[in-house]
Structure 1
């Protein structure tokens, strides 16, 4: 981490660890702190997901465009109407030199899946019935019903397999004499793979600096980093003054959840109609207008209309009503609550730091004041009544959104009936029936008003023109290994 001095002093400190002093090394700044290097298990922050995916492989992985590519499995087939996935493992070795076999890989995969129980990602994988060994290097995953997104799920960093606590690459992490994190592609022959004659010429090192958002942007802006990763809504104003005017900022076409999660059901927030009043009060166009980003659209739906299994039967809420009309109706509900001698204390909203969060809070403060409510901003880890949620979807189907809002994951406000419809959909082999059940689930979960959507998330990066191995990704993060390969 860069000490908390001025930006100029910070840049002086990293001068020997960046840019000109490491010829041929790609310099990457990541918004995050050194704690990401120590994270383990299946609960990973976004920076930890990025770093884990560089040194740990699953059966499959992602390329720079977010497409599924081979990893520990070099090929696979789908049989039994989508209810069986058969993977053939590559010929290679575990970190200790032992040969990769189906027995070891299956054991590691079962352990990994079990560790996800109680999380949304665990629900995404709930249709997995069994992980079976079919032959020395062949694994079969049996499903209770088709999971079209299974390969995308298996490519997630949390589904990477470990052998005695270590990953299989494709990169190794080390430190240079200045303490910078250096990621190096492991030669294929050291992983039990055929030797590549041009490996030494094409492979380059990556120097990764974890830094606070403002310092990470400064590293890029002053030429000490070629790529900046980890940008979200809370930090995007940092890019506006420099990157947007130079074409360096790249926005990812992500979908997901960006809005307020209700974390308390005390008093006013105990009634679904009152929680709906909060949702009605938000002028979403005004929130997005504070950022002035073209193409960013507001939404009142908990499921993105862009998902493959959306029937189109559930539209945006309160269509035909202006923001003023919605706020007037919301204000009336607050007035009714207060008329009974009940007060509404100032609501605490937990948000991450950053100028983007400040812009969102300022608009929410204005909108809620118009209906007779006051709010206070607290830290993102503090106890609160409402919490700003900003999560990019892992795959493009309605189940991702609904699992995020299930009673397994969200304890304060959820819909047991909605969860039942999702469970029924999971068991259905008929795509039309499945989509209809998911639409019913969305209606039930929406009516609970436990999550108040504002817009789709934003994910942004900064990258020098012509940098190989970087591309826009629908998942909002950018694997390191492709950036370590120079073009032929």
Structure 2
């Protein structure tokens, strides 16, 4: 009898224990059918997928309307609507073979429909900086039922990276072809992987069991980190310098802080030529005063690269003829030169009198880049600086205030970008070439001071006969912009994410771009 009871109890335990475990999982764990993602931004960002998109909008656009090509989680270009392509030897023709299958509407994916969709996407760019990057695109032609050709006026080795951008996601009858579809649930964008068979593509066995939904919402920085710490989201993306101090609350058991090895523009754009800023030498004085390493030191970011160049050094095509500025001078010597310019301006002296100036010896009170500086002359220059909101931006403001005070310039912070004399620019490059940087600082970009001479060199480079000639002209353009002192570079931008250890399909990469579809694949 006791033996029979023992057997019965063991059988019951084999049934009840798993049931209890399932009940506990249902009560204490998130929905395993979805991965919860937070992107730092505004609540409506995921649903704004127009040309001027936020990061959340870009992620949704790229997930629901892929282009001819797209990116994988490592930032590599992979097939999308085009399953293969070739590039002609002269680099001026890209020929794409479209995949078999249909648009989401059920209409067949043809060369004519893809051409029309690509032309429509290009037209929406208007004066978007991406339009300047694509200026070498000359013609789109259909060659066969599922073959299109993109002809260029000059070689564009980075064309595939540009075609993979979310702005060039293609739609037909106002719908994209996936790889995911969007369902709105309040403030949450639910992105559901589309079964390939429904698009006329080969079926994937056990599709519902191999993929999961992505629940994406946009939250402000503090709320996103709090949600991660509370276990409500598995991944936080879109972190920038102003939010970085929030990561100090993340314990090692909750997840890891992933920093992308991006390049781009991170520094201050000079917005006008009023007063002190009218003279390029005075604008250079501000750049000389900045202690770049000290600026980022409070963030304890290993591997961050400071630079005084406008274009990130050592990119493809960099001739190496433009080096770091003021390399022969110490910080004290640089600030002594800058201080002399500020004093002359304050006294009303002719700014041209500085030609051929010698490096004066730094006063004892100024030696050491972090020693307290004397109070700036109340009659000296005062500049308004715009920074984004966040504790990291507060740290930047304090550091820049001290740096500028060391040369006699007062700094105040403004909440209105249009009221700013100086404005933080923090932008990740979409392709690793000098042209990207120069296009973002051009007069046509319409954001601050610029150089028409530099723009002229960039225009000449666009029609250069050889890559060597093109590189030389772009180098001249960088030199022109450097002499104009319209931008004060700090170094590389900072992009970070919070990633729980259980998340698959995420990898830091050069573009700081993390598509959602790789995250939707369930680990085997």
Shorter chain as normaliser: what TM range? over 0.9
Aligned twin of 2:484 = 448
The secondary structure found in structure 1 opposite 2:44 is helix
Q: How does 1:220-259 map to 2 (within 5 A)?
A: 220-243=228-251, 248-259=256-267
Displacement of 1:478 in angstroms is: 0.7
Structure 1 gap ranges (5+): 1-16
Is contact 1:173–1:183 with CA below 8 Å preserved after alignment?
A: yes
Displacement of 1:241 in angstroms is: 3.5
The secondary structure found in structure 1 opposite 2:46 is helix
Compared with structure 1, are the counterparts of its residues 408 and 244 closer, same or farther at alpha carbon in structure 2 (3 Å cutoff)?
Answer: farther
Q: How does 1:47-126 map to 2 (within 5 A)?
A: 47-126=56-135
Pick one of 143, 150, 156 that aligns with 2:152.
143
In the alignment, is residue 325 of structure 1 matched against residue 333 of structure 2?
A: yes
Aligned twin of 2:45 = 36
Aligned twin of 2:296 = 288
Is contact 2:229–2:254 with CA below 8 Å preserved after alignment?
A: no
Aligned twin of 2:428 = 392
Aligned residues: 471
- Whole-angstrom CA distance in 2 between matches of 1:72 and 1:287: 44
Pick one of 470, 473, 478 that aligns with 1:437.
473
- Whole-angstrom CA distance in 2 between matches of 1:204 and 1:58: 22
In the alignment, is residue 416 of structure 1 matched against residue 452 of structure 2?
A: yes
Aligned twin of 1:175 = 184
Is contact 2:242–2:392 with CA below 8 Å preserved after alignment?
A: yes
- Whole-angstrom CA distance in 1 between matches of 2:136 and 2:510: 24
Compared with structure 1, are the counterparts of its residues 158 and 18 closer, same or farther at alpha carbon in structure 2 (3 Å cutoff)?
Answer: farther
The secondary structure found in structure 1 opposite 2:443 is coil
In the alignment, is residue 460 of structure 1 matched against residue 468 of structure 2?
A: no
- Whole-angstrom CA distance in 2 between matches of 1:380 and 1:38: 26
Compared with structure 1, are the counterparts of its residues 19 and 277 closer, same or farther at alpha carbon in structure 2 (3 Å cutoff)?
Answer: farther
Is contact 2:35–2:214 with CA below 8 Å preserved after alignment?
A: yes
Aligned twin of 1:339 = 347
Displacement of 1:345 in angstroms is: 5.0
| Residue range with higher mean Cα deviation, 276-285 or 19-28 | 19-28
In the alignment, is residue 212 of structure 1 matched against residue 220 of structure 2?
A: yes
Aligned twin of 1:361 = 397
Displacement of 1:110 in angstroms is: 1.6
| Residue range with higher mean Cα deviation, 438-447 or 109-118 | 109-118
Q: Deviations over 1:83-139 (max 9, x none)?
A: 000011112222322111111211121222233243321111101111111112111
The secondary structure found in structure 1 opposite 2:175 is coil
Displacement of 1:462 in angstroms is: 0.9
CA RMSD for the aligned pairs? Answer: 2.0
Q: Deviations over 1:265-324 (max 9, x none)?
A: 112112211111111111111101121211112111000013111111111101121111
Aligned twin of 1:7 = none
Displacement of 1:341 in angstroms is: 8.1
Is contact 2:44–2:218 with CA below 8 Å preserved after alignment?
A: no
- Whole-angstrom CA distance in 2 between matches of 1:97 and 1:325: 69
Aligned twin of 2:141 = 132
- Whole-angstrom CA distance in 2 between matches of 1:63 and 1:74: 14
- Whole-angstrom CA distance in 1 between matches of 2:307 and 2:150: 37
The secondary structure found in structure 2 opposite 1:402 is helix
- Whole-angstrom CA distance in 2 between matches of 1:152 and 1:332: 46
Compared with structure 1, are the counterparts of its residues 142 and 338 closer, same or farther at alpha carbon in structure 2 (3 Å cutoff)?
Answer: same
- Whole-angstrom CA distance in 1 between matches of 2:390 and 2:166: 26
Compared with structure 1, are the counterparts of its residues 248 and 411 closer, same or farther at alpha carbon in structure 2 (3 Å cutoff)?
Answer: closer
The secondary structure found in structure 2 opposite 1:81 is coil
- Whole-angstrom CA distance in 2 between matches of 1:242 and 1:174: 31
Structure number with bigger Rg: 2
Displacement of 1:437 in angstroms is: 1.5
Compared with structure 1, are the counterparts of its residues 113 and 243 closer, same or farther at alpha carbon in structure 2 (3 Å cutoff)?
Answer: farther
Aligned twin of 2:413 = 377
Pick one of 17, 27, 47 that aligns with 2:36.
27
Displacement of 1:240 in angstroms is: 2.5
In the alignment, is residue 313 of structure 1 matched against residue 321 of structure 2?
A: yes
Q: Deviations over 1:221-273 (max 9, x none)?
A: 12111111111111111113325787600011100000001112112112211
Pick one of 150, 155, 169 that aligns with 1:160.
169
The secondary structure found in structure 1 opposite 2:299 is coil
Q: Where do 4+ consecutive residues of structure 1 move more than 3 Å?
A: 243-247, 341-345
The secondary structure found in structure 1 opposite 2:201 is coil
Is contact 2:69–2:79 with CA below 8 Å preserved after alignment?
A: yes
